[in-house]
Amino acid sequence: MQEGIIQQSLSGFYDIISDGQLYRTRGRGNFRKKGIKPLVGDHVEFEDGYLLAIEPRKNQLVRPLVANVDDAVVVTAATQPTFSSNLLDRQLIALELQKVEPILFFSKVDLLNEDEFQHLKSVADGYRKIGYSVYFNAQPFNKTDLQNLLDQLKGKVVTMMGQTGAGKSTLLNHLSPELDLPTGAISQALKRGRHTTRKVTLLNVDDALIADTPGFSSYEDFTMTKEQLPQLFPEMRAIAPECKFRGCLHLKEPGCAVKTAVEHGKIMQTRYDNYVQFQELIKSQKPKY
């Protein structure tokens, strides 16, 4: 019996990567009977061309459909499209909910003027202070950053995440030039063309397995409860014990340490404003039955 990770699945076959080697396997018949669908990213046991067992998953993303994701590189354009802290925070809370470690990578910083650069730099520093690892550089694809990122991703299952045109494929090509992924308008056209047959593949990048994920134009993923939401903001989670009331949602409650921290500039105002908006969105959602 061997162990490995499913790298891609194609009409009933599962390609498994094990010790740097690729093995094509078929699912065992009783998976389907039990309603188990092997997923890309699954840790599995296999023998003689048959996938035999799937280990319990630590998480399971929907877009892309990948299991056991460790890290997500959130690629955010500094401009073109305009930077939105709201969109960034939506992605971060979705990842926090799934226990995926976000890594923030700012692309297109080279297109900013000096004022814009200074402003976004302070934003990037704000996220760094929260505890996120942040790549923000006037030359987005410089050697040092790329090497640090590769080191950080070593041995992990990773997804790329970000708006259409943010620069996900461009970053992957810099991390691993032999991938030669289509970018820009060409990438758009190809993705539209093969929309229905799109499959998820984990790309071998150095020692990481990375899923290149199609970009999105808007992001709505508020599956968390109003009580969970403050837990998904690490800087609020850290301060919440100082709030007067247990279970404080940091909205209208008196003696709220989070609101005080916002007033004192210890928590970013944009993060708090986005938090309040997300609470409203969760509240206004129709219950799903």
Ligand X SMILES: Nc1nc2c(ncn2[C@@H]2O[C@H](COP(=O)(O)OP(=O)(O)OP(=O)(O)O)[C@@H](O)[C@H]2O)c(=O)[nH]1
Residue 38 binds which entry of ligand X, Zn ion, none, CB below 5-8 Å type-dependent: none
Task: Write 248-251 long-range contacts (CB < 8 A, 24+).
Answer: 249/279, 250/275, 251/276, 251/279
Read off the DSSP letter of residue 167.
S
* Residue 165 labeled ligand binder: yes
Looking at beta carbons only, is 171 or 229 nearer to ligand X?
171
Contact call for residue 167 and ligand X (CB under 6 A): yes
Choose the one of Zn ion, ligand X, none that binds residue 64, judging by a C-beta under 5 to 8 angstroms depending on kind.
none
Taking residues 189 to 228 in sequence order and writing x for each that binds ligand X by CB under 6 A, - otherwise, the string is: -------------------------xx-------------
Q: By CB under 6 A, which span of 117-125, 167-175, 197-205, 249-257 interacts with ligand X?
A: 167-175
Alpha-carbon torsion (87, 93, 98, 100), positive or negative: positive
Q: Is 164 in the site for ligand X (CB under 6 A)?
A: yes
141 to 109, 157, 162, 253: CA distances (angstroms): 10, 21, 17, 45
Looking at the Cβ atoms of 75 and 87, the one nearer to ligand X is 75
Q: What are phi and psi of 265, to 5 degrees?
A: 75, 15
Cα–Cα distance, 162 to 80 (Å, whole number): 13
CB 104 within 8 A of CB 72: no
What sign does the dihedral 239-245-250-256 (CA atoms) show? negative
Residue 169 assigned as binding residue: yes
| Among Zn ion, ligand X, none, residue 126 binds (CB under 5-8 Å by kind) | none
Known binder of ligand: residue 70? no
* Least separation in angstroms between CB 209 and ligand X: 18
Query: Minimal CB distance to ligand X: which residue?
Result: 215
The least distance separating ligand X from the CB of residue 18, rounded to whole angstroms, comes to: 29
Question: Residue 102 binds which entry of ligand X, Zn ion, none, with Cβ cut-offs from 5 to 8 Å by kind?
Answer: none
Minimum CB separation of residue 257 from Zn ion in Å reads 6
Place of tokens 């991703």: 153
Answer for which of 38, 126, 140, 230 binds ligand X (CB under 6 A) is 140
DSSP, collapsed to helix, strand or coil, labels residue 114 as helix
| Residue 183, binding choice from Zn ion, ligand X, none, Cβ under 5 to 8 Å by partner class | ligand X
Close Cβ partners of 258 (under 8 Å, ≥ 6 residues apart): 230, 236, 239, 240, 243, 248, 250, 267, 272
> Which token pair is 154?
């070593």
**Window 23 to 82, contacts with ligand X (CB under 6 A):** 75
- Cβ atoms of 78 and 139 closer than 8 Å: no
Contacting residue, 72, 250, 267, 278, with Zn ion by CB under 5 A: 250
Say whether residue 184 binds ligand X (CB under 6 A).
Answer: yes
The structure tokens listed for 66 are: 């990948």
Q: How far apart are CA 173 and CA 186, in angstroms?
A: 14
Q: Which of 78, 160, 175, 243 binds Zn ion (CB under 5 A)?
A: 243
Annotated binding site, which residues?
107-110, 162-170, 243, 248, 250, 256
| Interface residues toward ligand X, by CB under 6 A | 75, 107-108, 110-111, 140, 162, 164-170, 183-184, 187-188, 214-215
| Interface residues toward Zn ion, by CB under 5 A | 243, 248, 250, 256, 258
